[in-house]
Structure 1
């Protein structure tokens, strides 16, 4: 899967960028060289630690670090690095959090203030107008990427190689599995499990490993998982429930709903995720 998601290519690009910046330090002024070496170190460490993962990084957004380094490089030698002002519109092409966008916008304005003494007033205003126009166009492109990526992710597995799917897929599968269970006389039920937030991904992987290959697991929200279990009868389903829950973190809450009893019209993911949970071992098991 790493080749599919181009992790090795991205790592190679980071190493190449670090090498280019390292070569640039030979002709840079002391303060600029310091910022460049910080950039080299950041790119190098990022490339070494880069790994394909479904988890989001808990550290500062990398767009924020890039903005800080770019501002530092311009501030260190405005007369030599004034052309880097044109890198700011490219920064806004990257999908990022709103507060990071605000920070980068302020940093871009500060960069413009640092180099404005090098230009006449009309030239400076023309430069500012061009930067604002390009940044707005870049932000619009970033919004398109966010919408497109969200649409793609809603159709893809959350962890490549495992049957873990987003919540929207559950609503589509419920109708199909309910029809199939009625037609083929198979007992199907929806098992919903609530765990602590920090246990979600580990519990999801365990649940995927404990279920059959033809059974899917779904992430309803940051604390709730669900799976569609297919069994010969309710007794077998109860036995499987106990085995599944026993293999998951101890501090959990679970409940099950026979698929035949579910009224699918008007059913939402929020409704399923907010059902009153029962202790892990139900009284009727």
Structure 2
């Protein structure tokens, strides 16, 4: 499974823009320290940070902060020196192309229109009407393009792999992998289970630390996933249950941070019965470090002969005995909630 990422080009464009802005800021500072030169330096520095740490731009709060700051910087440049920086008005339309919170689009549009009004008011009503018309048209085209980009962004959230720097796949890819991996494990008579992980101390920094540590701790054949609610999962395939128990403990000890784990056995089970949202709910609140979940409903007897993804008609209520090496808490069967 290979995913092509168009990150390098975006980083290069941001880096080129930051270099141009910083060079222009240095030229103006050499002539005389002005407020416009400082604003150009701040804008260039922000683009430099985005280009060098591009993964930060995937964070909603960081992307919102950068876009709002760029809008205010462009507005200040146009108002302070309209003869030199009037061309920055087209930048407001470009901002509307990026994925953003809903409130940010009208905010950027309002800042752009007010800036255009104040900058062109002294040129007369004809120029003012023409400028506002052009700016409004460009921003309308940017908003239309932004809606299309928003749909593409939502599709990218479902792609197999979200991060080019880590071998961590998405929940969408997990649901595609499960039928094939379960069928292979049953055919080869090997053990397969899904381990759901979450830090005890919730928060963005704890989740990112767990993600980085898990990416380095897991073996190449142990596929890692990030669920839609932020929890992490590992698809563990071993020769037997005892080996899975030992490997599970080694993996959790290598993470070197307080975590909670739920282990879902998958052998001879129906993958369509797996409710990931329910299994990962309140994972950080588990009293025991490791909780062994009951098996999923079995596949129909004729599943291998007919189809690997046949729906299950009945469940199995017996709990899988927990290994003594795990010291886990076995939760009672909650039934089939799906």
TM-score (norm. length: structure 1): 0.83
Matches of 2:215 and 2:101, distance apart in 1:
31
Shifted more, 186-195 versus 207-216: the winner is 207-216
CA distance in 2, matches of 1:16, 1:113: 28
Q: Could you tell me which residue of structure 2 aligns to residue 35 of structure 1?
A: 36
Separation of aligned partners in 2, 1:265 and 1:101 = 39
Give the corresponding residue for 1:152: 156
Identify the structure with bigger relative contact order (alpha carbons < 8 Å, sequence gap 6+): 1
Cα-to-partner distance string for 1:135-154 (whole Å, 9 max, x where unaligned): 11111212222322442353
Q: Aligned pair in 2 of structure 1 residues 3, 20: CA closer, same or farther (>3 Å)?
A: farther
1:225 aligned residue? 232
Residue-pair matches, total:
282
Partner of 1:279: 288
Cα distance in 2 for partners of 1:86, 1:110 equals 14
- TM-superposed CA distance for 1:26, in Å, is 7.4
Query: Do 2:89 and 2:112's aligned partners in 1 also have CA atoms closer than 8 Å?
Result: yes
Decide whether the 8 Å contact of 1:221 with 1:273 is kept in 2.
no
TM-score normalised per structure 2: 0.71
Match of 2:98 among 94, 100, 104: 94
Q: Does 1:5 align with 2:13?
A: no
Residues 163-207 of structure 1: CA deviation (Å, up to 9, x unaligned): 201111111111111111111111000111121232212212222
**Corresponding residue for 2:167?**
163
**Residue number in structure 2 paired with 1:199:** 206
Q: Any conservation in 2 of the 1:22–1:37 contact (CA below 8 Å)?
A: no
Query: Structure 1 stretches of 5 or more lacking a match?
Result: none
Is 1:137 the equivalent of 2:141?
yes
Taking only aligned residues, the RMSD between alpha carbons, in angstroms, comes to: 3.2
In 2, the alpha carbon distance for the partners of 1:207 and 1:178 equals 23
1:234 counterpart = 2:241: yes
User: For 1:274 and 1:48, how far apart are their aligned partners in 2?
Assistant: 35
